[in-house]
């Protein structure tokens, strides 16, 4: 009796906002691992804003996904069968896998999950790619000094919720933008943000000027009018960490906006992009520190969990509506 | 017989492109130096794009000039009378003086001119503020490595003409944008640029893609469409030195354009403003090195000299028309 495997295929490239028509759930046979391959039974998969870029046929830091091919995702799962010396059945692993029930993949593409006492799902969030992105983006690119004012956009998301707490650990004042009162309460009451701004209700410029006399570090997950407001309120020698631009990922034309280079001369600010894979040699360092802070309670996290592989596109589409608080996951068991 | 002094007054704040109505030449008595002051007979004054910012009533890195007040300028001159222990009559000095025949100023605001064998006018150009701006902007902010491709906008101007040569000294390939065939010939034949692009005649994007596969350092003196073209052609880990934005200094509304932050994630490029005064503790180092290179012939320069204080506004207005090659000066004798 051949068991089946379901996996999501990129059915077509989205134009603007993705829709369900762009995804196709295809049933195939459960894969059999070849030499050196490991068969993984997926437990959680991640949906992330960067995936919108992979659906686009454009030059980028990673190859676009091909139409008709399975979609990829960071995922954790359990080894069911292994032809690779580093993995045994029952091991919990993480890697860049697929939107699928099962994956057979070269063991070289997998890592053992090391989360200490935290749930394995954190390997996709606070102890995974988003947590490390926050860590290296803030500490290595942002270079915080105690007393700095740090502003975070997308502050209640997987990356932003970690950035704010890491900034507090570094002795900074922290202001966050989020899109609902519930999220703002989360920032202020649970994450230790000094001030949350609800960008749906408040004027993004006035609220920032109320919150601070000037910004030393801006951690940008969003782009758009929030970024424009912060760029006009930078202190001398400010650092701007460009991590995400979700406000623009569904744009069908090149986005335009106010030019910011004049501000950079005034302030001698530095604007720099962050891509976490550039820091791969130090992933272990970051993950260990983040895990210690989670264990000590210095670093908290939330997960928004969507149940069932069949609902993965909904979880992904929800990112663009700001439906998640913290890390958006899909539970696959 | 009281001798007279002429000086230019900011008559009104320009709207958009400055005009002659914004300047008033006023005749006063030749000043008498007070305690600690030095009376300077000006030989050359500098006109620079940054002055457009001082004419504007806006928050900036320096105070705006007041309407009705004398206009300031970097200038060199000869000490005629000194009440300051560091200066004697006949000394050649440089400082932030005025658009004027004579200035009486605290000696603490003056420096002795040290140009070695070069003419004193170079203290306003290749061995002065523009030369040091090129030096620190390229070497400290741009951080060139041999083999890098460096693109310079405003390449035939006072700063740009120096940047290109300094980049060649650092072992880089250098491409420059300038606004006429004469300037492009100057870049390629005299300054050692590997390729000059006439932005008036050539498509700024196509020409750049012809000239190079990708840009490691962009030294931006200009802004506008040239900058947009270069920002879309950056290599991974590129550095963008934002030195000037002359294309926008006469804008009456906040300039808009394509958003570049997405590119910064793709390339992890760094964009950073440069203001030369931040490097004041190292001015002497830079000036000495620049003077050595001028003496050895490794660094050449040109000056565009306008005769007579009465023509200073013309010299200034000409900057926005790209009338100068190299440093634009006004000769005051």
Q: What are the pLDDT digits (tens) for B228-267?
A: 999 999 999 999 999 999 999 999 999 999 999 999 999 9
**Nearest residue of chain A to residue B263 (CA atoms):** A273
Per the CB < 8 A criterion, the answer to whether B94 and B113 are in contact is yes
Domains of chain B: 4-125+302-331 (3.90.180.10), 129-277 (3.40.50.720)
pLDDT at residue A282 in the model: 97
Q: What are the pLDDT digits (tens) for A191-244?
A: 999 999 999 999 999 999 999 999 999 999 999 999 999 999 999 999 999 999
CB atoms within 10 A of CB A179: 20
pLDDT at residue A23 in the model: 97
Tokens 């000299």 -> residue: B305
pLDDT at residue A333 in the model: 76
3-state secondary structure of A63: coil
Q: Which residue has the higher pLDDT, B135 or A63?
A: B135
Q: Check CB contact under 8 Å for A265 and B245.
A: yes
3-state secondary structure of A64: coil
Q: What are the pLDDT digits (tens) for A30-47?
A: 999 999 999 999 999 999
| Helix-then-strand count for chain A, H and E | 9, 16
**pLDDT score of A309 more than 80:** yes
Residue of B60, B220, B263 with shortest CB distance to A261: B220
> Binning pLDDT at 50, 70 and 90, where does residue A57 land?
confident
Secondary structure element (H or E) that encloses residue A166, with its range: helix A158-169
- Chain B CB contacts of A258 under 8 Å are 254-256
Distance separating alpha carbons of residues B33 and A25, to the nearest angstrom: 86
CB atoms within 10 A of CB B198: 18
Residue of B61, B227, B248 with shortest CB distance to A266: B61
Chain B: give the shortest CA distance to residue A269, in Å.
6
Q: What are the pLDDT digits (tens) for A253-293?
A: 999 999 999 999 999 999 999 999 999 999 999 999 999 99
pLDDT at residue B2 in the model: 61
Distance separating alpha carbons of residues A151 and A196, to the nearest angstrom: 10
Q: In what order do the strands lie in the sheet with B173-178?
A: A195-198, A173-178, A149-152, A215-220, A234-242, A270-273, B270-273, B234-242, B215-220, B149-152, B173-178, B195-198
Distance separating alpha carbons of residues B192 and B173, to the nearest angstrom: 10
Secondary structure element (H or E) that encloses residue B26, with its range: strand B23-29
3-state secondary structure of A321: coil
Distance separating alpha carbons of residues A196 and A186, to the nearest angstrom: 9
Q: Measuring CA to CA, which residue among A73, A4, A77 is closest to residue A43? A: A77
Helix B283-296 vs helix B158-169: crossing angle, to nearest 10: 80
Distance separating alpha carbons of residues B204 and B213, to the nearest angstrom: 14
pLDDT at residue B187 in the model: 98
% of chain B at pLDDT higher than 70: 99
Chain A: give the shortest CA distance to residue B320, in Å.
17
Tokens 């930078």 -> residue: A234
> Binning pLDDT at 50, 70 and 90, where does residue A58 land?
confident
User: What DSSP assignment string belongs to A242-284?
Assistant: E---GGGTT-SS--EEE--HHHHHHH--EEEE--GGGGGGGHH
Locate B232 and state its tokens: 């879309």
Q: Check CB contact under 8 Å for A268 and B275.
A: yes
Tokens 């762009």 -> residue: A22
Provide the residue-wise pLDDT of chain B in tens; the chain has 333 residues.
468 999 999 999 999 999 999 999 999 999 999 999 999 999 999 999 999 999 998 878 888 999 999 999 999 999 999 999 999 999 999 999 999 999 999 999 999 998 888 999 999 999 999 999 999 999 999 999 999 999 999 999 999 999 999 999 999 999 999 999 999 999 999 999 999 999 999 999 999 999 999 999 999 999 999 999 999 999 999 999 999 999 999 999 999 999 999 999 999 999 999 999 999 999 999 999 999 999 999 999 999 999 999 999 999 999 999 999 999 999 997
Q: Check CB contact under 8 Å for A264 and B272.
A: yes
Q: Measuring CA to CA, which residue among A193, A198, A197 is closest to residue A174? A: A193
Q: What is the ipTM score, two decimals?
A: 0.93
- Chain A CB contacts of B60 under 8 Å are 266
- Chain B CB contacts of A269 under 8 Å are 272-273
* Terminal alpha carbon distance of chain B: 21
Chain B: give the shortest CA distance to residue A44, in Å.
27
Distance separating alpha carbons of residues B179 and A67, to the nearest angstrom: 45
Burial of B270 (0-12, 13-18, 19+ CB in 10 A): buried
- Chain A CB contacts of B261 under 8 Å are 220, 223, 227, 242, 245, 271, 273
Number of A/B CB contacts below 8 angstroms equals 107
Residue of B223, B244, B272 with shortest CB distance to A268: B272
């Amino acid at each position: 009796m051949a068991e089946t495997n379901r996996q999501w295929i990129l059915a077509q490239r989205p134009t603007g906002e993705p829709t369900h028509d762009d995804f196709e759930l295809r049933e195939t046979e459960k894969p059999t691992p070849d030499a050196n391959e490991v068969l993984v039974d997926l437990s959680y998969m991640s949906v992330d804003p960067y995936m919108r870029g992979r659906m686009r046929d454009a030059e980028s830091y990673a190859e676009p996904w091909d139409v008709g091919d399975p979609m990829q995702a960071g995922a954790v799962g359990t080894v069911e069968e292994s032809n690779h010396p580093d993995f045994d059945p029952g091991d919990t692993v993480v890697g860049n896998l697929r939107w699928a029930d099962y994956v057979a993949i070269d063991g070289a593409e997998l890592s053992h999950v090391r989360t200490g006492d935290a749930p394995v799902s954190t390997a996709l969030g606070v102890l995974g790619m988003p947590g490390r992105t926050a860590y290296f983006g803030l500490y290595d690119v942002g270079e915080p000094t105690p007393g700095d004012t740090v502003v975070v956009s997308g502050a209640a998301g997987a990356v932003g919720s970690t950035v704010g707490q890491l900034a507090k650990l570094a002795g900074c004042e922290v202001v966050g933008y989020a899109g609902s009162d519930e999220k703002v309460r989360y920032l202020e009451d649970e994450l230790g943000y000094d001030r949350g701004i609800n960008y749906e209700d408040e004027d993004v410029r006035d609220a920032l000027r109320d919150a601070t006399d000037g910004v030393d570090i801006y951690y940008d997950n969003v782009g758009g009018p929030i970024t424009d407001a912060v760029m006009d309120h930078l202190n001398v020698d400010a650092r701007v960490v460009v991590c995400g631009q979700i406000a623009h990922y569904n744009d069908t034309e090149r986005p335009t906006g106010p030019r910011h280079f004049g501000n950079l001369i005034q302030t001698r600010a530095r604007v720099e992009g962050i891509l976490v894979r550039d820091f791969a040699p130090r992933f272990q360092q970051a993950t260990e520190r983040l895990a210690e802070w989670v264990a000590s309670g210095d670093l908290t996290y939330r997960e928004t969990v969507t149940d069932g592989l069949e609902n993965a596109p909904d979880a992904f589409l929800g990112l663009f509506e700001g439906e998640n608080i913290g890390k958006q996951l899909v539970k696959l068991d």
